[in-house]
Chains A and B, each alone.
Chain A
């Protein structure tokens, strides 16, 4: 009789433990998937253009969702710069401004105007323009400032005082 009681108690305890573990397992999984869902909701997908040897290549990047457009632009430019070689990847963003005609002014550190070949300079300007224009179609034009100043050229081949449009939209 005692034996039967002991077996019954062990069975009850085992079943209770199994049920308890199963409950906790389900709960844990639910939390994780919820967390993943939340994380997905917080990220946004962007396409950036990058200069390669003779042409542009594209890359998908995920960045934290932002409401403010200028903040979004900053995140995209940071992603763009990170993908470049030295010294361009060391470039710091000093400011981003937008005027009433939707021209965006990007103020960068002088690392961005390092010496390069004509083709490299062209691809850099084109990639920069297309990266912003592709993700923010409302942008009418982009102007690059270096250390808060307008400059004639990045590396001596292309005039950038006025606009980047002619390089970005050139076929």
Chain B
């Protein structure tokens, strides 16, 4: 009796396994060309290809649907619910397959016979692809002055050298915390205001921070009263700038005895930046030789950046 039960259960399992395997396979081929991705779905069944639909969604993601449950085979393996195909996220949702590239502008769909196949050419925005490697810089840290533009002199040291030192140390500290950083100026070089601005506006960092030294014994944090280029996310930019200023004031008040001032003036790089942009002037006490004070500043700035970025993430999630 037990043997019979075992055989029946085995038969049921094998049948269900066979049923799963019975889902027809569709072979996926994928290639990236100069300005488009090519997706090719090949099947032995005419119906699968003939009744398939391809939609470019509003969020610029590609949705491919088939009339029945299928399995997609790519490079010898069956794709699971979520996969990444050569950098493109792929997931299954409500029976459809979504290719999450978020940069597709136009699609062209062709259906062929012998073998039955559907060819999708998804044209992407060339600029957005080219910009992608640059976007990795989450925080752009600009060391004020440089080259012939030496800035003020404090304790016998030039502002351009102090700001560069602080920026490099801050970038290293943020990198340790997993935050991508970029420096427009990494050595003592002439870098015009226009060039700094170009770098910032091409990079579109999450925060553009410019570090300077004050001639007084106080910290000053600046942002621009208004932006020259009115962007769609103007309120978001103001929100991040205000968050940064609040965090800066809160953290620096706790850790430093120096006064903290906030000024809204149209400093060129702040006014013309399309990203949240702030400028900080450190007290003239700051010196290349005073490691303790420098580290204190760098630690505090790191905390301000982290808290501001985490606030931003929370806001995004809240909106969702």
A-B contact number at CB 8 A? 58
A115 contacts B152, CB within 8 Å?
Answer: yes
**Alpha-carbon distance between A115 and B215 when the two chains are bound, in angstroms:** 10
Q: Does B247 contact A (CB under 8 A)?
A: no
List residues of chain A with CB within 8 A of the CB of B55: none
Q: Which of B58-66, B263-271, B302-310 contacts A (4 or more CB under 8 A)?
A: B263-271
List residues of chain A with CB within 8 A of the CB of B225: 170-171
**Alpha-carbon distance between A30 and B276 when the two chains are bound, in angstroms:** 70
**Alpha-carbon distance between A122 and B281 when the two chains are bound, in angstroms:** 14
State how many angstroms separate the Cβ of B219 from the closest Cβ of chain A.
12
Q: Which residue of A lies closest to B158 (CB)?
A: A115
Q: Does A129 contact B (CB under 8 A)?
A: no
In A71-121, which residues have CB < 8 Å from any B CB? 115-120
Q: Does A157 contact B (CB under 8 A)?
A: yes
What's the interface size class on A, roughly? Answer: 10 to 19
In the complex with contacts A156-B145, A158-B268, A118-B281 CB distance below 8 A: yes
**Alpha-carbon distance between A167 and B228 when the two chains are bound, in angstroms:** 13
B220 contacts A117, CB within 8 Å?
Answer: yes
State how many angstroms separate the Cβ of A129 from the closest Cβ of chain B.
13
B194 contacts A116, CB within 8 Å?
Answer: no
**Alpha-carbon distance between A157 and B279 when the two chains are bound, in angstroms:** 10
What's the interface size class on B, roughly? Answer: 20 to 34
List residues of chain A with CB within 8 A of the CB of B263: 118-119
In the complex with contacts A115-B151, A117-B220, A118-B212, A159-B193 CB distance below 8 A: yes
List residues of chain B with CB within 8 A of the CB of A40: none
List residues of chain A with CB within 8 A of the CB of B267: 118, 122, 157-158
**Alpha-carbon distance between A157 and B268 when the two chains are bound, in angstroms:** 7
State how many angstroms separate the Cβ of A162 from the closest Cβ of chain B.
10
State how many angstroms separate the Cβ of B14 from the closest Cβ of chain A.
77
State how many angstroms separate the Cβ of B187 from the closest Cβ of chain A.
17
Q: Does B153 contact A (CB under 8 A)?
A: yes
Residues 250-275 of B, flagged 1 when their CB comes within 8 A of A and 0 if not, give: 00000000000001011110000000
State how many angstroms separate the Cβ of B243 from the closest Cβ of chain A.
21
Residues 143-165 of A, flagged 1 when their CB comes within 8 A of B and 0 if not, give: 00000000011011111000000
4 cross-chain pairs, A with B, having the tightest CB-CB distances, nearest first = A159-B268, A115-B152, A122-B265, A156-B149
